[in-house]
Structure 1
Amino acid sequence: MGNADRGGLDGRRALVTGGSKGSGRAVAERLRELGADVYVTARTMPDGYELPDRFIAADTSTVEGTALVASRIEEAGGVDILVHVVGGSSTPPGGFAKITDEQWMIELNLNFLGAVRLDRALVPSMVRAGHGVVLHFTSIQRQMPLHDSTLAYASAKAALRTYSKGLANELAPHGVRVNAMSPGGIETEAYERFVDRLAEGNGLSRAGAKESILESLGGVPLGRFARTEEIADLAAFLVSDQASAIVGAEYVIDGGTVPAI
């Protein structure tokens, strides 16, 4: 089998969480381009979505939402590839003392426990089949947490990384590979809207607003955030046979943001 063939995903069924926009949408589109039959889940199906029979409207941060997704996927025959992209932070600023128990659980359910529950529902069939791939999206904040308003998010992503490594060690002997991706800033539609708001609110140009964002992170050596198609490139590689010996790894894609050797 040639190396190009090993990058293909023909005949494989995939599920991408958080797949309605941003990086999730880019990953779903790339996996389809490579031949996979891709299901997507997110809270709301976008207007005019091209493949409504492959969209599962559900909130995977809830037990009920995860059960709904698992049921639909099991009806389809299970998956060979499971990519957990969904995540985010809604904690208000103010530091650790302002984070309530309820807000901690919101962040943990969205960024960590949703993936745990979905894995628990869908991975056993991969083990029985003797093959499969799971990819968890973590974040560089697990290494450099920003304390003002994303401490709970960063903590949840750190838990996801630890869980991912342990799961990889358990499942590798059964033919199921588990890895993680750790993005830094990403040029999504939401990011571009934030740039617009920052520019307008501070009398800056868009370029100036972007520069101020990079400076707030201590600088990004690449000089820009990753594009969603670059995130999709790495995800597609990690779920393909080209990465068949990569297990329990976490690939950082942050333009050099994390100051580590």
Structure 2
Amino acid sequence: MATEIQLTKIEDIQDLKDLQSLYLKDWPRHCVGYFWLDNYLRWLIKNSNLSHLAFYTLDNDWQGDGLFLLVHRYQLFFSNLSREKSNLKLALRLLDWSGGYKVSAIHKMHHRIYKDLVSELSLTMDREMNTNMYILSCEKAQKLDIECPKGYYLDKVRLQHADLINDLWSARHPGSLKLIQMLIENNTNIGLYEEKTGELCAWCLRLQSGFLGALEVISTHQRRGLGLLVAAAIAKAIATDLQQDVTALVNMNNAAACRVFEKLGFQLMPGEHYYWSMIKPRAGGQISWPNNE
């Protein structure tokens, strides 16, 4: 009698580090999976009791194809090295989809698998976005010239500004305030402040996937090149502090954002399209971060 295939957890830190090392293959082809694992390993080492975080694979066999599903509360990321569908689709089918998910960084080769699964399971998709990927090497990012204009200074983003950042974030959703708070506390970030008032005028955060995100300049300070400045500053900080390449996902229709990264020397990765999507809970309503834990 055939043994039923099961979704199993990867719980050993060393196993997760070894899984991460598989994603160095053909760099930067698999860098997104590498950065997801890198982010959460750093978070786990900092806080071993990180709530509602799980890494899954099929029958404990992550070594063969690097297959893993990462679930943090309502957030879902999945990857395999071959980018083939058979085992990945089976693993996704075994997940509990009843509470809904925000599914991030779905590679274009995985997108059809995902869309077929949504149809087969009769899931309700709330929204979806297609993006282009840009990358800047660590060496080039370290050489970026950062010149802060008179009347401003650069510093880390403060937790007190989480509400402002969340309110202006284009990807804002129920539960995203808690996510913004965690990104401020745990990841590289840059804020631009007005010297006279101490007001936060522009900012950029590093998302769990390694991508630059939540890049924003408040309306009263726009058209001064401040977005370019904070993007350059965070890119240099990531390259200097973490010794890592810097990546960004840009909405395919956002020409202004594309120009910002191109001016900084980021290279468009041809054909590297990534989607993000929202799946609504089966009972209706919106996904959320219960109890703000």
How does the TM-score come out when normalised to structure 2?
A: 0.29
Higher helix share: 1
Higher relative contact order (Cα pairs below 8 Å, separated by 6+ residues): 2
Work out which of the two has the higher radius of gyration on C-alpha atoms and give 1 or 2: 2
Higher strand share: 2
